[in-house]
Structure 1
Amino acid sequence: MNAGDSRAFGLRVAELRKQRGMKQEELAAALGRTASWLSQVERGVQPVNRLDVLRLLADGLGVPLQTLRPDTPIAAASVPAESIDAPNDLDQARLTISGYPVPDVLLAGDVAEAETDLEALQTAVDEVWKLTHGNRFAELSSAIGPLIPRLERAARTAPDAVRPTLWLLLSRAYQALSAAFVRQDEPDAAWLAADRSINAAERSGEVLHVFTGVFRLAQAFVRLKRLDQGEHAAATAVNALRQHVSGATANPEALSVLGSLHLALALVHARAGNRSDARKEVENARQVATQVGSDRNDFNLEFGPTNVGIQAVSIAVELGDAGEAIDVGERINAERLSTERRARLAMDLGRAYAQRRQSGEALAYLLEAEELAPELIHTHVAARNAIRELILVAGRSASPELKALADRADAQP
């Protein structure tokens, strides 16, 4: 859908809504979306291409799908709603972390003790991280909705003996949410989730989780293009942590956090176009990974030699060093890492080949990344830009596969 089509579609949505006497807030609530999202749709800022979202709008407005979108094929319009995947975004999660988490606890004089089934809560937080690593954001959003308030309440009202454990679980849940928001290019929400994770980690007494939260915070700053803040956050943490991590017998968990912070600094410098400092930080991370000795997943950072290689590919692409990115990336075996890491490697190799105008290889890797993690390709700004560039280079000779990918990612020029 191009800009003109998006504006026309948005006007049609607004007209149908007004005909039914509905306010934006009312329709948005019926759709399970935010009023801000609906406003963007009606103004043509937010295109709607996915069939499941089109059906959601049509059902909310009480009209047939083809009334809303006349060019929708009849066969597609007749597909039962229950057979289509639900919208895959983090709107519900964003609402969950809006405002103070449990205001009633502040006002009540005698709050009932919260449920403290630690094993069940631990399992729930572990599942949240599995969903995050798998880029399964719709499921994550649904799971985090009831979990965050439950943890927030328990951490404040449970017996003193178990509160540190609950604060730690809360910190881990917020860290997962921050990581997901970064990948969905919602850095303001990622910033908020990271900040809350740091606060909860400090109250838990688990110091390394505080530093892990700072890593998430630095990632949010990078997405917000606040590179000075990202550098300050990561560098301050690195300087403090290095004083406590030394020698061949250093704690591998602490090393994982330190190495990840070096990678965060590498990304900051790469985005700033500071080639020498970016390479220096990658080398610092590589030296730490050598100390760690193997791929680990401490604090869900997936730090180790393989992930440093994947990040080195990403940094090289950011710096425009496509040849280096391809040389390094083609030698990496990431099978033991998460879906998200494998998809990221494939995406960055696709970007690298796109920089070299090797369209066939670029498309193959981007399709591989999409197969692993569709949401990553459909929402990541850099991936969509690479697809758009491939379309522009190919012109009328663009293959059906490339055109279809561009449609799915809303990356048509």
Structure 2
Amino acid sequence: MTPEESRAFGARVAGLREDRGLTQKQLAAEIGRTASWLSQVERGIQPVNRMDVLRLLADGLGVSQQELRPDAPAEVDSSGSEAHLPNDLDHARLLISGHPVPEVVLSGTQASGPTNVEEIQASVDYVWELTHANRFTELSSTLGPLVPRIERAARTGPLADRPRLWALLSRTYQALASAFVRQNEADAAWVAADRAIRAAEESGSTLDVFASIFRLAHAFVRLKHLDQAEHAATTALNALKRHYDERPAEPEAMSVMGALHMVLALIHARAGDRRRAKEEMENARRVATRMGGDRNDFNLEFGPTNVEIQAVSISVELSDAGEAIEVGTRLDTTSLSLERRARLHMDLGRAYAQRRQVGEALSSLLEAESLSPDLIHNHIQARDTIRDLLLVSGRAAPPELKKLADRADARP
């Protein structure tokens, strides 16, 4: 946007907001931004160049993107680009609807025969493999028989096995919450995370409770309930800090604390609060430095490398494309999961797209696709980036970009 276009756009936003009878504070809260950010937009100081931010504003004002900005690309349908995302977790969504094992309520929870806990442990490990690989169709079909089995075993298995079974159930629901967030099924992620918290409490595994709260905070972020996300993460983090104030924190606890700092960085970045986002990333870095290496406690993959991957993502959220590229291109991610490695390349693609470097952006997105096709084909931000690249390129769009857009169903 030119300065004149930014001022005209800001005046249009202000007029539509006033027509709806909203204050700046109310609209900012509705779209997960700060009132000061919105004030700068309305005054033409803060340009809105990213399609995802334009979409947020349009949704908050109850208008189409074209009414807000006439040169915006046509929307796919009246509910926006998110509405037609493929969803491979429909069966899993049904799975968490209602009580998981209603017959147990009727028959009681007396101990039954022996339970093969090691076999269940292997199944839960496989669930996390599928989650990290973004293989959501397989994940959904695997969870169909597994979740009721663990739910039943945790209630009726031998008393000595029940704490471990409840812990395994918590970690299964944590995987499901993580998958739902990535598939933009945030309401289902909320339910799964809440069940993970409850199962963790039953198990007596304190840190699993806090790892589950981390999943809950991400569900709130995806729902754009940033105040709830911040409350969940902050209260959990403060409780952990008080608990470990006078005793050394084990690496597992540091993993959880570091992950909570990173989700707080994301929350503040989404709210447009650059200072607090950067502060939380520095807090996460300090925790990772104390740990000394990458770990995968509670499938959080927390450590120095993952902190820097998150730093890339936060820089992109804050439109600091140069910083994102500088950090991201020097990282060695070979020890991390395919999902984390693909996420880095996706965010690098977003950063290059912000700088309108089409070739570099396409190369990064194709690398991400080679590592995790589902991530690029299904992730909202990846699809938005592909659309933006097509719009920037126009008729000169590279053939590979057009093919990628077709594979991801991301044509403007």
Deviations 1:260-295 (A, max 9, x none): 000000000000000000000000000000011100
Deviations 1:228-283 (A, max 9, x none): 00000000001000112358943110000000000000000000000000000000
- Does structure 2 retain, via aligned residues, the 8 Å contact 1:350–1:365? yes
Q: Aligned ranges for residues 196-211 of structure 1 at < 5 Å? A: 196-211=195-210
- Does structure 1 retain, via aligned residues, the 8 Å contact 2:82–2:380? no
Asked if 1:169 is matched to 2:206, the reply is no
Supply the AA of the counterpart residue of 2:401.
L
Asked if 1:217 is matched to 2:246, the reply is no
Deviations 1:70-124 (A, max 9, x none): xxxxxxxxxxxxxxxxx97111111111111011111225878266101100110
Task: Flag the 1:398–1:369 CA change in 2: closer, same or farther, 3 A.
Answer: same
Asked if 1:141 is matched to 2:140, the reply is yes
Supply the AA of the counterpart residue of 2:214.
F
Q: Aligned ranges for residues 54-133 of structure 1 at < 5 Å? A: 89-108=88-107, 113=112, 116-133=115-132
**TM-score scaled to structure 1, two decimals?**
0.78
Provide the C-alpha distance between the structure 2 equivalents of 1:334 and 1:247, rounded to a whole number of angstroms: 34
Supply the AA of the counterpart residue of 1:187.
A
Q: Aligned ranges for residues 278-297 of structure 1 at < 5 Å? A: 278-297=277-296
Task: Flag the 1:237–1:46 CA change in 2: closer, same or farther, 3 A.
Answer: closer
Provide the C-alpha distance between the structure 1 equivalents of 2:109 and 2:366, rounded to a whole number of angstroms: 56
Q: Percent identity?
A: 67
Task: State the partner residue of 1:322.
Answer: 321
**SS class of match (2:138):** helix
- Does structure 2 retain, via aligned residues, the 8 Å contact 1:313–1:326? yes
Supply the AA of the counterpart residue of 1:284.
N
Provide the C-alpha distance between the structure 1 equivalents of 2:225 and 2:139, rounded to a whole number of angstroms: 27
Give unmatched runs, 5+ long, in structure 2: 1-76
Supply the AA of the counterpart residue of 1:119.
E
Supply the AA of the counterpart residue of 2:347.
D
Task: State the partner residue of 2:157.
Answer: 158
Provide the C-alpha distance between the structure 2 equivalents of 1:47 and 1:203, rounded to a whole number of angstroms: 38
Task: Flag the 1:280–1:336 CA change in 2: closer, same or farther, 3 A.
Answer: same
Deviations 1:293-339 (A, max 9, x none): 10000110000000000000000000100000001101111010000
Q: Aligned ranges for residues 338-353 of structure 1 at < 5 Å? A: 338-353=337-352
Q: Which moved more, 1:114-123 or 1:209-218?
A: 114-123
Deviations 1:177-228 (A, max 9, x none): 1111111111111111110000000000000000000000000000000000
Task: State the partner residue of 1:252.
Answer: 251
Alpha-carbon distance, 1:409 to partner: 1.2
RMSD of aligned alpha carbons: 1.9
**SS class of match (1:243):** helix
Provide the C-alpha distance between the structure 1 equivalents of 2:308 and 2:108, rounded to a whole number of angstroms: 54
- Does structure 2 retain, via aligned residues, the 8 Å contact 1:184–1:376? no
Supply the AA of the counterpart residue of 1:281.
E
Provide the C-alpha distance between the structure 2 equivalents of 1:231 and 1:47, rounded to a whole number of angstroms: 29
Provide the C-alpha distance between the structure 1 equivalents of 2:285 and 2:108, rounded to a whole number of angstroms: 53
**TM-score scaled to structure 2, two decimals?**
0.78
Provide the C-alpha distance between the structure 2 equivalents of 1:290 and 1:112, rounded to a whole number of angstroms: 46
Provide the C-alpha distance between the structure 1 equivalents of 2:180 and 2:351, rounded to a whole number of angstroms: 25
Supply the AA of the counterpart residue of 1:188.
D
Aligned residues: 333
**SS class of match (2:243):** coil
Alpha-carbon distance, 1:396 to partner: 0.8
Deviations 1:27-67 (A, max 9, x none): xxxxxxxxxxxxx9xxx99659xxxxxxxxxxxxxxxxxxx
Provide the C-alpha distance between the structure 1 equivalents of 2:358 and 2:386, rounded to a whole number of angstroms: 10
**SS class of match (1:116):** coil
Supply the AA of the counterpart residue of 2:232.
A
Q: Aligned ranges for residues 243-392 of structure 1 at < 5 Å? A: 243-246=242-245, 249-392=248-391
- Does structure 2 retain, via aligned residues, the 8 Å contact 1:128–1:173? yes
Give unmatched runs, 5+ long, in structure 1: 1-39, 49-86
Provide the C-alpha distance between the structure 2 equivalents of 1:190 and 1:244, rounded to a whole number of angstroms: 28
- Does structure 1 retain, via aligned residues, the 8 Å contact 2:111–2:158? no
